Structure 1
């Protein structure tokens, strides 16, 4: 077995070494063919801005364990309600008329629903009975960990144990509690360390857990006397989620533990009773981390795995391969999400998504006869969704950076547009511990609808493509290798005849906003205009503030600091701070002469508003062109409809003035009033 694994690893390495040239040629050919096909389509009509604000009418939908009902959260006017739809042609009925819940979870016995809201967990019976309500957050730091599948109707909570007035984190203890539908609490474990996740046996006893050890995460098995035995020690950016404990002593998990090739991609795993790891499924393309796994609610066997960092694909596992393949065949070229009922005759819930499908579509699949029936499609739910033909095709691409690394990304090509003469927008994702996926992106589709080609780079340092890809940044997040990936991707597209080199812009939010400032500062010959949402002007300062004072400054597991340190982004390290500070847009503010729009929230606890306003003040002092839109009381990104529409309107106004395109749709009375009150600095574009 060892020889076979070594041989497989060598073959994979050879494929990686030989692949770039072949893949590069294939990427160019696919891109040109797609551009030709899109150019031949009718020009899409210009859609209203509000069409690109993703629909929140249907908030969540969950299939019952038996596959006999779908519970869903639906917004109507100013309220959100919980509904129940029988899967056998019954009519839906309302269970709860008003709730703030964002997630629905079924109890194992299918008789109770757990509704999780930002600040409370409410339990409701499917017969309309009211269960208990428990607050979340607060001084107890109470959080929902997962459902307790060892019990008919219970949930697992994590909470802080009071440790005395004025005591600091080292004296704090953390408790794992089982709470049933009637509010009965059972303490399962109390620990000095923050516990991420636990696994229970069929009797409801804790048999394994993952916890933070001060400098790393680790997986432990529990002995019968509750003592711990370390099984796996994880490195930064390695993670484990415990799915189930089996009767044979094995653990079903997802994650990316291990060294070298084995510890790269996130996958479906089994840890046997002798602590040997077995990969049950990983991306057959060798490109993407696992995004989602489907588990049989009765047997706890893995049924399907989904990957979405490049081409969205879902595969069956074991005996479910034929069923999953049959479902996937009904949705060629689409991204499907699955939920399975228990047993061979139970319905499956299917969610259909695509880059040009703003709102998911929902179906029930009957494995007995292959019938597929669309549900949750009444006009109140599907209203105002843009026609797919009016939205842009999103193509997965890859290009070879100047140092030989293959870089991943996406390009959105507007229908009916000659891409060679269209303005090109580089859209940069936030994080940077994040990545673009194959699905719908409202901002990108809005820009494409206005005639822009949109390029989304999953530059090195992005997640979703394996741990090695994330760490290949080597901490070079200033005006260095990471930014160079974005710049080289834009130049690669221009060399393929995609985009007008005289009309190139850059936009992004959070880290994407930081990249926008870098692009305008250090590559003004390429980027003619930029839009930055909540941008840190000095990444070293911003990362230090985030872990000391910002939203994540009081995380009890302190894992963010460890991650930033591993990625060479720890602003608390003097050398890291000095390097990022020297390359920051703030220090190099005199070089920034391109038109810029900055948007931010006054109560942002991820990027300090004073970091944003300080940078804007420096630009104004130097007489540089800048506009500033601030959402009063807003967080890191706008949530409410008017601030979100203002974001799109301001972006479109600036880009249209400097890159061309149709004039913006006039602002309505509410939007005009919002802009008058909150556009703190208005450049000539406004």
Structure 2
């Protein structure tokens, strides 16, 4: 038997070598092979129901009060949430608000109020008494919450649109917990962010100046003094104004990576912390609420790491020793010794929450009751996500992640390339419901953070030089798949590609131009012509009526501004739409009828073209859906349809049968039913 296995392995190696012939020679990746061996040695994961991957996190927006005496959070309850508060010294949690549409919460500086942000309203809720107030957001004023006012006991800063004839101006307003409003500034330009001194005066602001972003200091008389003119994809966030006249920032001006910065009183820019590995942008910086000094910085584009800054370094090191292998997040509490700690992982839908006593060094688990955990999939049944990097065929190092199903020989498993949207976005090391769903069905999942992705520095984002069609960006995905196959990960005869938005576009590219590699594709909300889609987005779509119109400048810098005829022509020539005649692989397309990011008419026109030439294609349209499915049944339909398509062409377990409501939804909304869905598209039999 051992000789037979050895012969099979040798034959498999020859196949892999032939498939990977276009990839630069590379030796075995020790980290990947070690992870594969560890996962293969585990018991196979139990097949979990689709519902396990549809549930949202049970607890969201968990926040420690500035004094460290209470933790507040939002507990999911169907389509709404309840506001909960727990004393850190011990005792039971209590419900502060029984039902709210809020998705974000913040503490006031004095810890006596909670600010709840819903899509269309802001509620100010007292912690120790009844009452409170609510103010609308959006509307003709396009009112938005900017941040909690750090200079006041209990207030927020709002940004509002003021229309005067054909002109518009932008007003920065302070509103306290009793509803009192004070106008702090009015500006002809869209203001991204502001910093206030201890007296509550705006001393710095960042705004969009019509063709670029810029940072200004605000003089006592209100006049502006330019400090930084920012280049495309350079960003700054104003974290705090210090007593010595310096500004605490995070961003990437004057450098490649996003990092923690201090702008000194003489306007010298100094780096306080950046990724020690020199491969990831700053993801999060934590301030001490009492001193406004940075205490921790997290980087999550490759291997997730959190580092203490200054005197907080030993505190973070002590926490990390007690939570090995976890992605740690912290919230400090001013003069208190209490810290709130989150522990995340790719195998945890919900973070684990702890209180850490910085004086005694102990961790205490909180918020872990079964009711709080909900229906989270068991961690033991989920797949480890491994950070990888590989050399593309032009020699550039590209980053990404691989999910390896437990108890499965990865050399014999079907391989699915999952491509992220954007493209100005990136995969992270944390929990991903779609990827874990696929891995639970036995698929190896490959997530490429191809060049052009964010999270790896500004130079990495600009590296494509506009080649987003059947060119360099797509080749990074293809090279990554072939590199994995050469590493013995994935069955080369069973490779698929899936993605949403730009990921859907990449799926169409893969099936059109690399059909020898990709056998099937699933595309969510895919633009079939990126040039046309980008032009529509900035002229008529969601970005067309946003007050911050910097997207056009960003696209121009990335050579993606399709309002320029030459760019539009170049992208069109490389598009799946212009090359539809080459598309022959089976394809599932899913879209929302009221999507304002990718026009539904572009999607339906492309599908009609494929259908006319007899390409096997299925189209599922959510009649009330936007860019991504939100409601439970459309979300389940997304997973069910994806699983059905992949199983038919790549193998794997037969999908869990669709319930009555899901079948009815599919019958009603399958606009085009390929052979994989013919039975579901038929009317229900008469009783």
TM over 0.5: yes
Relative to 1, partners in 2 of residues 1:471 and 1:623: Cα closer, same or farther, differing over 3 Å? same
| Conserved 8 A contact 1:214-1:557 | no
Alignment of 1:222 with 2:186, yes or no, is no
1:252 maps onto 2:248 in alignment: yes
Q: Does 1:487 align with 2:475?
A: no
Superposition deviation, residue 54 in structure 1: 4.0
C-alpha spacing 1:216/1:77, structure 2 compared with 1 (3 Å):
closer
Work out whether residues 108 and 115 of structure 2, in 8 Å CA contact, stay in contact via their aligned partners in 1: yes
* Whole-Å separation in 2 of the counterparts to 1:454 and 1:462: 18
1:374-413 matches, cutoff 5 A: 374-413=365-404
1:640 corresponds to 2:631: yes
Structure 1: distance between partners of 2:571 and 2:26: 36
**Any idea what SS the aligned residue of 2:122 has?**
strand
List per-residue Cα deviations over 1:212-253 (Å, max 9, x = no partner): 111110000011111111001100111000000000000000
Query: Which whole-Å CA distance do the structure 1 matches of 2:114 and 2:379 have between them?
Result: 34
In the TM superposition, 1:37-48 aligns within 5 A as 37-48=38-49
Q: Tell me what 2:584 maps to.
A: 593
Deviations 1:422-469 (A, max 9, x none): 110000000000000011111111111111111000000000000000
Structure-to-structure mapping, 1:100-249, within 5 angstroms: 100-164=101-165, 167=166, 171-249=167-245
The CA deviation at 1:349 is 1.0
Q: Does the Cα contact within 8 Å between 1:27 and 1:399 map onto a contact in 2?
A: no
Residues 1:33 and 2:31 aligned together = no
Equivalent residue runs for 1:342-381 within 5 Å: 342-343=334-335, 345-381=336-372
Matched, 1:674 2:670: no
Deviations 1:271-297 (A, max 9, x none): 100000110000000000000011001
Higher alpha-carbon deviation: 493-502 or 670-679: 670-679
Contact 2:141/2:161 (<8 A) preserved: yes
Distance (Å, rounded) in 2 between the aligned partners of 1:31 and 1:78:
40
Aligned length in residues: 654
Query: Is 2:41 the counterpart of 1:63?
Result: no
Q: Could you give the per-residue CA deviations for residues 341-383 of structure 1, whole angstroms, max 9, x where no partner exists?
A: 111x431111111011111111111112122111111211213
How many angstroms does 1:27 deviate by? 7.1
The alignment partner of 1:357 has SS state of coil
Q: Does 1:561 align with 2:557?
A: no
| Inter-partner Cα distance in structure 1 for 2:410 and 2:669 | 35
Are residues 1:436 and 2:432 paired?
no
Paired residue secondary structure (2:661)? helix
Match of 1:80, SS?
A: strand
Secondary structure of the structure 2 residue equivalent to 1:460: coil
- Separation in 1, partners of 2:173, 2:644: 52
Other structure's SS at 2:591 match: strand
Give the aligned partner of residue 8 of structure 1: none
> What stretches of structure 2 of length at least 5 have no aligned partner?
1-23, 678-687
Matches within 5 A, 1:289-300: 289-300=281-292
- Retained in 1: the 8 A contact 2:58–2:350? no
Q: Distance in 1 between matches of 2:273 and 2:60?
A: 30
1:533 aligned onto 2:524: yes
Distance in 2, matches of 1:268 and 1:78, equals 37
590-599 or 549-558: which moved more? 549-558
TM-score (norm 1): 0.94
Q: Give the superposed CA RMSD.
A: 1.2
Following superposition, the deviation at residue 24 of structure 1 comes to 9.6
The 2-side partners of 1:130 and 1:475 are apart by 54
- SS of 1:98's partner is strand
Structure 1 unpaired stretches of 5+: 1-22
Please report how far the alpha carbon of residue 387 of structure 1 lies from its aligned counterpart in structure 2 after TM superposition.
Answer: 1.6
- Give the Cα–Cα distance (whole angstroms) in 1 for the partners of residues 671 and 619 of structure 2: 5
Pairing 1:328-343 to 2, within 5 Å after superposition = 328-343=320-335
Give the deviation of 1:338 after TM superposition: 1.1
Q: Which residue of 1 aligns with 2:274?
A: 282
3-state SS of paired residue (1:685): helix
Question: Are 1:24 and 1:398, in contact at CA under 8 Å, matched by a contact in 2?
Answer: no
User: In structure 2, what is the Cα distance between the partners aligned to 1:535 and 1:79?
Assistant: 30
- Post-superposition offset of 1:104: 0.7
Q: Distance in 2 between matches of 1:587 and 1:142?
A: 42
User: How many Å separate the matches in 2 of 1:156 and 1:396?
Assistant: 39
Match of 2:91 in 1: 90
C-alpha contact (below 8 Å) 1:537/1:615 kept by paired residues: yes
What secondary structure sits across from 1:530 in the alignment?
strand
Using a 3 Å threshold, how does the CA distance of structure 1 residues 211 and 77 change in structure 2: closer, same or farther?
A: closer
- 1:525-550: CA deviation from partner (whole Å, max 9, x where unpaired): 00000000000000000000001111
Deviation at 1:333, TM superposition (A): 1.2
Alpha-carbon offset, residue 77 of structure 1:
4.7
SS class of match (2:99): coil
What SS does the aligned partner of 2:351 have? Answer: strand
The 5 A counterparts of 1:515-526 are 515-526=506-517
Q: Deviations over 1:375-415 (max 9, x none)?
A: 11121121321221211111000001111110000011111
Contact 2:263 2:270 in 1 (8 A): yes
